[in-house]
Structure 1
């Protein structure tokens, strides 16, 4: 089959050797020929076919009429284009093996109910890896039941998070329970609207990375209770890289003059872009103070929450004639263009 994959699909000899292993038992090229002809008839070019076969060489063993044609037709009937179908296949390896009525339709209906629209389901089908792999009976239903009945979290609150992070509920039930336990350890009330967001961010941060952040912030003076309190207020900051977290904390402490406890209490400060918001706004306010044009009334932490438009209207435009450098500071940061 190595020679066949080279000649019929355009793979290199080394690629063909790798992808031919699942096809070693084939005694003829009848099925592979039929599969390749079918894919070409669907408008798939050579490069795209190689991507599909690379994702799962077993596709070349499939029966076109039983396995491929019904799935392609179903996906097309959903409104997906040829390129959309390819994206869905590449993100959901094995989807062409699923039975339409027994597997694909139940998943489609369940996800549509959870996410609130067919359009959003199709978006994740094309962009989210393994979106359609989880079993409705063994994974999705048990996870929903656990969150609703045991944790007391309304389904709508769960759905809000799933619309952007559907994989949260696609994992094994025991894994989801472990994540909920970690959120409980932080003292996050299950009744809080931030609980599901906390569970979601914890899913993306390993225990090792999480503990590294706890230890890192301890060196800056945070107690464990302050760390937990900061996470409860703004859980997304723990998804930040250690390097970015270090640069932000060091700037707030060493340049702005905040104490570690103040940052823990106002942990939302850690979400602002250092280069596009924190540093340029600090430079603007410091320049105004140095020229006696601003008394410092109004906390810098509050100034950071203003939109770019409001900040410019309040702190830059009134002084653009006397201090044109203010606009230059924001232009360099990419905050304003041509104002």
Structure 2
């Protein structure tokens, strides 16, 4: 890189290079593909280098090994010291070791974008073998690492009992990958999370068990009682009614007080739903007001006003279906009758007021 070469023949090259090290921020952007913000942060970890020779060698090795440019950039942004690794002593043998467990260069590239320090932590390579065997596929391993990048840093003597317990609770390998954060706490804590979820009335091996486990994990098992009291007060329901709602949709425990109050007010005042109706269909409380509840309520009312749909449409059924099915049922059949209907719905889902569509 020309910026690192001395232009004064009387100045020692190593001194000039050291004085101009700040050009590494530009190097990280132009050569490694980092954003300026990422480069500004990453360059601080490279201040000890006096030359771009080793980073150049690292980039050349990774590119030659088949790593994608975007994966290299992500890896360097996460772990700038990757550029300081010795190609012959570190990268080459570790790359060969990872290849030997059955991963392809493309798969190693994807892992490096998330856990680039795998090249300086041999124990992580052994753990990859465990997760490949336990989860069954590389894709599930990749999901787990994306959601929990520090997963490979946890000792297997901690992870193994947690994984066994989660599988006993009815979670599949796919579920475990998605909720990989539950693998890393101390086993005693995961046992407490499981026990707390069961106290909520959500038994193991049921469809709602993973939702209950995640809710308890996010809130903290010692905070569930206070959250239940808050929900009961906000909803204005009995303890028995709340318990039933939580069993049906444990995810409502993760809804903030503000969002819950706004959603409840909208459903009762604007939509005209009774509290009992809502409590028997608790997932409705978790949908986005902006992206789902308000737009669908508005457009169903438009269709009702024009006599294009029945008056007794069940609101929950209209809300819980996917966007694709909502379009098929409520938008597509009326495109010709109401020009611009689809665009107006998209506008409403973006939080803007649709123009040209009136009741």
Q: Paired residue for 2:348, among 329, 333, 336?
A: 333
Aligned residues: 313
Task: Using the TM superposition, give the Cα deviation of residue 95 of structure 1 relative to its aligned residue in structure 2, in angstroms.
Answer: 2.4
Q: Paired residue for 2:230, among 215, 239, 244?
A: 215
Deviation track 1:207-236 (CA, whole Å, cap 9, x = no partner) reads: 688645751552231334433332322233
Name the stretch that deviates more: 115-124 or 176-185. 115-124
Is residue 134 from structure 1 mapped to residue 154 from structure 2 by the alignment? yes
Structure-1-length-normalised TM-score: 0.70
Q: Paired residue for 2:298, among 260, 268, 283?
A: 283
Question: 2 CA distance for matches of 1:53 and 1:4?
Answer: 22
1:125–1:319: structure 2 CA closer, same or farther, 3 Å change rule? closer
1:294–1:81: structure 2 CA closer, same or farther, 3 Å change rule? closer
Gaps in structure 2 of 5+ consecutive residues: 1-16, 27-39, 64-68, 351-359
Question: 1 CA distance for matches of 2:179 and 2:42?
Answer: 36
What's the counterpart of residue 70 of structure 1?
Answer: 93
What's the counterpart of residue 193 of structure 1?
Answer: 207
What's the counterpart of residue 119 of structure 2?
Answer: 96
Structure-2-length-normalised TM-score: 0.67
1:172–1:69: structure 2 CA closer, same or farther, 3 Å change rule? farther
What's the counterpart of residue 162 of structure 2?
Answer: 143
Task: Using the TM superposition, give the Cα deviation of residue 238 of structure 1 relative to its aligned residue in structure 2, in angstroms.
Answer: 3.5
Aligned residues: CA RMSD: 4.4
Deviation track 1:145-190 (CA, whole Å, cap 9, x = no partner) reads: 3445xxx435xx3423113232222332122122213212312112
CA contact (8 A) 1:227 1:264 kept: yes
Question: 1 CA distance for matches of 2:313 and 2:78?
Answer: 59
Task: Using the TM superposition, give the Cα deviation of residue 267 of structure 1 relative to its aligned residue in structure 2, in angstroms.
Answer: 0.9
CA contact (8 A) 2:147 2:180 kept: no
Question: 2 CA distance for matches of 1:72 and 1:319?
Answer: 58
What's the counterpart of residue 26 of structure 1?
Answer: none
What's the counterpart of residue 182 of structure 1?
Answer: 196
Gaps in structure 1 of 5+ consecutive residues: 24-28
Q: Provide the secondary structure at the position in 2 that maps to 1:42.
A: helix
Question: 1 CA distance for matches of 2:75 and 2:22?
Answer: 14
Question: 2 CA distance for matches of 1:334 and 1:315?
Answer: 15
Is residue 79 from structure 1 mapped to residue 98 from structure 2 by the alignment? no
Task: Using the TM superposition, give the Cα deviation of residue 313 of structure 1 relative to its aligned residue in structure 2, in angstroms.
Answer: 5.0
Deviation track 1:290-309 (CA, whole Å, cap 9, x = no partner) reads: 45555523422223234445
CA contact (8 A) 2:268 2:275 kept: yes
Question: 1 CA distance for matches of 2:76 and 2:245?
Answer: 45
What's the counterpart of residue 169 of structure 2?
Answer: 153
Task: Using the TM superposition, give the Cα deviation of residue 252 of structure 1 relative to its aligned residue in structure 2, in angstroms.
Answer: 0.7
CA contact (8 A) 2:46 2:80 kept: no
